[in-house]
């Protein structure tokens, strides 16, 4: 099937993005001596610094970038990076990690459904069973991770605020994924790698803004960071997060967004969770439990069946268009 072959590069790039994003689960675990704010600012500072370095190399190709593209990159730097992660951390703090990960774990389905509603790519019945399978896998995965751990008791007001932050994070990244895909498909002036670089530079702008606010309010972020031990480990960690888990992940995601429908690209996000699990199993020298194996099966089955259903619909459309074209030629 031609559509299946044409979708393969997009699927491959989606897996690369997931493998790169999955490092964001592992590296903070390895840098447990540092706060989430220190890791976040370090990651996005390195992403921006690396992007600025790339732009200097490509300067002769980027002189005439319109301001609207810079503005869009700044918007995506907030919705897809700094703003999303800010509300994600607040959700974890006030609602707990399990609730937050369950809500954010629905991203593949939410993006697929909202993206299809936005772009009207295929009938919703095509992703009904795949969506149910992925949701079942996500639920089993995080419920199995919660077994044996103490649940955090939060007040009703904190829980409500945490829920709100989780949904804001979900909305921000959903909008980013759909808008970014549509923008790249329509905008011929910017390539996937250049736009990843521009988003990185605008992310650096936001990080510098945050650091200036912390300096004005006397938060002592930098002095507290420099006073800690294991700074070499921290620098290595943020280099991995900034270059691999940010620039390469954004570049691969842009490649996926260009090559696949928004709904199909949304399903690729589950590879972030799967690779994050794989890295954790290797790092902690553990093996998946039976419930984790079942959840992984449901997730992979849902993604595979969803891709097959979408490609089957596209192929049927292609045959219908081809037959219609042939019948018109015969009439003439």
**Orientation of helix 36-57 relative to helix 83-95, angle to 10°:** 170
| Rounded Cα gap, residues 315 and 220, in angstroms | 58
**pLDDT confidence of 208, banded at 50, 70, 90?**
very high
Q: Which comes out higher in pLDDT, residue 46 or 135? A: 46
If pLDDT is split at 50, 70 and 90, which confidence band does 152 have? very low
* Higher-scoring residue by pLDDT: 153, 280: 280
Is pLDDT of 83 > 60? yes
Distances (CA, A) of 63 to 6, 198, 269: 33, 12, 33
Cα within 13 Å of Cα(187), Cβ side: 21
* pLDDT bucket at 160, cuts 50 / 70 / 90: confident
How many angstroms separate the CA atoms of 60 and 58, rounded?
Answer: 6
pLDDT of 206 > 90? The answer is yes
Confidence of residue 65 (pLDDT cuts 50, 70, 90): confident
Is residue 62 scored above 80 in pLDDT?
no
Mean local confidence (pLDDT), 110-138? 79
Q: How far apart are CA 50 and CA 110, in angstroms?
A: 31
The whole-chain average pLDDT of the chain stands at 82
Confidence of residue 147 (pLDDT cuts 50, 70, 90): low
Number of domains in the chain: 1
State residue 27's pLDDT score.
87
pLDDT band at 288 (very low <50, low <70, confident <90, very high): confident
Select the highest-mean-pLDDT range: 143-147, 193-197, 223-227, 259-263: 193-197
* Mean pLDDT of the region 307-314: 72
Return the structure tokens found at 79: 């919705």
d(CA 108, CA 111): 5
pLDDT in tens, 15-34: 999 999 989 878 888 888 88
pLDDT at residue 89, as a whole number? 79
In this predicted structure, the answer to whether residue 292 has a pLDDT above a threshold of 60 is: yes
Confidence grade of residue 103 (pLDDT, cut at 50, 70, 90): confident
Best CA proximity match to 113, nearest among 54, 178, 176: 178
Mean pLDDT over residues 172-194, rounded? 89
Question: Taking Cα atoms as reference points, which of 270, 183, 210, 216 lies closest to residue 44?
Answer: 210
What residues have CB less than 8 Å from 181, skipping those under 6 apart?
A: 115, 257, 258, 262, 265
Average pLDDT over residues 81-92: 85
> 96: pLDDT confidence band, cut at 50, 70 and 90?
confident
Mean pLDDT for the stretch of residues 200-220: 88
The parent domain of residue 129 ranges over 2-331
Specify whether the CB–CB gap between 102 and 142 falls below 8 A: yes
Does residue 260 have a pLDDT over 80? yes
The Cα–Cα gap between 95 and 273 comes to 20
Question: In terms of pLDDT, which residue wins out, 98 or 205?
Answer: 205
What is the three-state SS of the chain?
CHHHHHHHHHHHHHHHHHHHHCHHHHHHHHCCCCCHHHHHHHHHHHHHHHHHHHHHHCHHHCCCCCHHHHHHHHHHHHHHHHHHHHHHHHHHHHHCHHHHHHHHCCHHHHHHHHHHHHHCCCCHHHHHHHHHHHHHHHHHHHHHHHCCCCCCCCCHHHHHHHHHHHHHHHHHHHHHHHHHHHHHHHCCCCCHHHHHHHHHHHHHHHHHHHHHHHHHCCCCHHHHHHCCCCHHHHHHHHHHHHHHHHHHHHHHHHHHHHHCCHHHHHHCCHHHHHHHHHHHHHHCCCCCCHHHHHHHHHHHHHHHHHHHHHHHHHHHHHHHHHHHHHHHHHHC
pLDDT band at 151 (very low <50, low <70, confident <90, very high): very low
- Does 168 or 296 have the greater pLDDT score? 168
The reply to whether the predicted model has a pTM over 0.85 is no
The pLDDT, as a whole number, for residue 125 is: 73
The yes-or-no verdict on residue 10 having pLDDT over 80 is yes
Using alpha carbons, select from 322, 320, 281, 224 the residue that is nearest to residue 25: 281
């Amino acid at each position: 099937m031609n559509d299946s072959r044409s979708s393969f590069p997009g699927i491959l790039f989606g897996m690369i993005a997931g493998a790169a994003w999955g490092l964001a689960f592992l590296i903070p675990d390895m840098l447990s001596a540092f706060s989430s704010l220190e890791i976040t600012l370090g990651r996005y500072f390195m992403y921006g610094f690396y992007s600025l370095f790339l732009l200097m190399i490509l300067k002769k190709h980027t002189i005439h970038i319109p301001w609207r593209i810079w503005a869009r990159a700044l918007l995506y730097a907030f919705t897809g990076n700094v703003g999303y992660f800010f509300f994600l951390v607040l959700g974890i703090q006030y609602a707990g990690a399990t609730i937050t990960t369950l809500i954010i774990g629905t991203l593949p389905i939410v993006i697929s459904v909202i993206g299809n509603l936005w772009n009207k790519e295929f009938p919703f019945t095509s992703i009904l069973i795949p969506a149910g399978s992925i949701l079942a896998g996500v639920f089993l995965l995080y419920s199995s991770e919660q077994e044996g751990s103490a649940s955090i008791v939060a007040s009703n007001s904190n829980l409500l605020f945490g829920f709100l932050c989780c949904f804001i994070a979900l909305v921000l990244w959903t909008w980013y994924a759909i808008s970014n895909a549509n923008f790249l498909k329509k905008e011929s002036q910017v390539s996937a790698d250049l736009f990843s670089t521009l988003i990185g530079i605008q992310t650096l702008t936001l990080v510098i803004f945050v650091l200036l606010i912390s300096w004005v309010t006397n938060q002592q972020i930098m002095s507290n960071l420099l006073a800690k031990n294991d700074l070499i480990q921290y620098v290595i960690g943020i280099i991995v997060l900034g270059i691999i888990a940010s620039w390469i992940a954004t570049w691969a995601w842009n490649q996926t967004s260009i090559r696949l429908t928004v709904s199909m690209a949304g399903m690729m996000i589950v590879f972030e969770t799967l690779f994050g699990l794989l890295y954790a199993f290797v790092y902690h020298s553990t093996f998946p439990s039976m419930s984790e194996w079942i959840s992984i099966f449901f997730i992979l089955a849902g993604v595979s069946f969803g891709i097959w259903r979408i490609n089957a619909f596209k192929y049927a459309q292609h045959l219908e268009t081809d037959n219609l074209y042939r019948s018109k030629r015969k009439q003439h």
